[in-house]
Structure 1
């Protein structure tokens, strides 16, 4: 039973981390660039609409479920650190929880909240939007790399088992 649970969590985490890495990559590769090229008010309004819709979409169960699964894998790996793949399991969980979840909560969400509070058409929103585009995208790059690295580590853990 323990082996089945661990294997299931590893597969779920690998797939969830990979799915989220792809989403974050898309934002880093072209969505944010495109939003930065359009009119400020339109860009801010579009990003606020995305941020509003994402919390009501299938993204949230994947985001939260993958985070929970990764946290459980950290604990399971710690309890079974001598087993093959445990180090990769712990590493993948830590990289994901810190590099994706905590970065999202501490960096990206506050930036989203500041943007939502701004009047998209105001002159005061111009420096906020410029800073948002740079800072949010930087932290999104971190989330992309962390999610991809966690995926690789979970695949390594699966292969070692």
Structure 2
């Protein structure tokens, strides 16, 4: 793969991670707090609406596209082991795929499904707020760390060319 293609893939991964991190950061810092202040019925209904809407939004191609590009970057890092930026490429891809994608599939999505089934159940909503937000923090940190590692890989590969 040419250096230009690798740079494009790294830039796309870094930007995708940054966009995803920003969304997750907003949920972690203020959106979930605001929903929690609404009370169980309104908060759960609002979150269920968000969960339904996001599935039909531009978020989904960004979510899956960034995951695929991060996995490709990780594989490139593995196959180019020893080349400038390879360690950061592999680490960034692994951090993103495990910390964001796997976390989402294993924790956040099942919590969303449980909330959709339960509706406005008091106990489910209170536990959902705690658990979902905790795993969202993990996704946020993983997305930021991966973005930084992809930027580091870009810097390493550029400095090797000069």
Aligned residue in 2 for 1:42: 42
Normalising to structure 1: TM-score of the pair?
A: 0.96
Deviation at 1:5, TM superposition (A): 1.6
Aligned residue in 2 for 1:152: 148
Aligned residue in 1 for 2:106: 106
- For structure 1, the 5+ residue unaligned runs are none
Alpha-carbon distance in 2 for matches of 1:15, 1:75:
19
Deviation at 1:119, TM superposition (A): 3.0
Alpha-carbon distance in 2 for matches of 1:146, 1:74:
14
Superposition misfits of 4+ residues, deviation over 6 angstroms: none
Aligned residue in 1 for 2:22: 22
Q: Number of paired residues?
A: 157
Aligned residue in 1 for 2:134: 138
Q: CA RMSD in A?
A: 0.7
Normalising to structure 2: TM-score of the pair?
A: 0.95
Aligned residue in 2 for 1:116: 116
Aligned residue in 2 for 1:33: 33
Deviation at 1:39, TM superposition (A): 2.2
Alpha-carbon distance in 2 for matches of 1:71, 1:46:
33
Deviation at 1:43, TM superposition (A): 0.4
Aligned residue in 2 for 1:77: 77
Alpha-carbon distance in 1 for matches of 2:66, 2:119:
34
- For structure 2, the 5+ residue unaligned runs are 158-162
Q: Do the aligned residues in 1 keep the contact of 2:45 with 2:119 (CA within 8 Å)?
A: no
Alpha-carbon distance in 1 for matches of 2:82, 2:142:
25
Deviations 1:15-52 (A, max 9, x none): 00001000000000000000001121110000000000
Q: Do the aligned residues in 1 keep the contact of 2:95 with 2:142 (CA within 8 Å)?
A: yes
